[in-house]
Amino acid sequence: MTNVTYSGQVRYRSEVHAGEHPALIDRTTWEQVQAVLTRNRQKASVGLGAAVLLQDLLHCVQCNTGMKLRTLWQDLRRSRAYGCSCPPLPGAPMGRAPVQAAAPVERLVLREIQKLAQPAEDFRAAWATWTPEEQVLLVRRLVERIDYDASQGSVAITFHAAASLTLAGELAQRPEDSNP
């Protein structure tokens, strides 16, 4: 619905002109749809955006490959999920390799990282001030590997040996005015 042709117009390079064809939808509807699409894009960009929190850390236990972020569509709604390339699980629909919804596994990892922080409130406050790119870098400095076992529905997190010290150092480097 972003093609101006639907509104009876044509695009030439960066210019939009009235077309010689009839509009499929009226101008008011076209503008309302564009406003909704713009709002949805803005909502989707909130959070990590292009930064993928667990990329190269999350692994499928069945095939021992890294799970990549994918976009899934269900009932016209888009959601983020991590998936691998191994064959479907027994009983799974054809062509469905194991996938894990991104938000729950990311929250689980953050809760486990938060347990390393003393006090935990310092981590929550600091996390909210870091950019998505800084968040990704911190997670990579703390987490060595995350194993997802789709057959058991379990996640196992392996931290780097010095994860607690690394996190304490990051929290200590926070500017004083960002402390609660």
Name, in order, each residue with C-beta under 8 angstroms of 130's C-beta and a sequence gap of 6 or more.
138
The answer to whether 61 touches 67, Cβ cutoff 8 Å, is no
In this prediction, residues 51-75 reach a mean pLDDT of 84
Torsion angle of alpha carbons 109, 110, 111, 117, nearest 10°? 120
Q: Please check the confidence at residue 72 and state whether its pLDDT lies above 80.
A: no
CA separation, residue 180 to residues 89, 118, 123, 128 (Å):
47, 14, 11, 12
Q: Please check the confidence at residue 139 and state whether its pLDDT lies above 80.
A: yes
Residue with tokens 């929250």: 107
Q: Please check the confidence at residue 179 and state whether its pLDDT lies above 50.
A: no
- Which range (50-59, 85-94, 107-116, 170-179) has the least confidence? 85-94
> Is 63 strand, coil or helix?
coil
DSSP label at 5?
G
Where b means 16+ CB within 10 Å and e means fewer, 35-63 reads eeeeeeeeeeeeebeeebbbeebbbbbbe
The answer to whether 69 touches 102, Cβ cutoff 8 Å, is yes
pLDDT reported for residue 46 = 37
pLDDT digits (tens, 9 = 90+) for 80-107: 888 887 766 566 554 455 678 888 889 9
pLDDT reported for residue 83 = 85
Helix (H) or strand (E) holding 81: strand 77-83
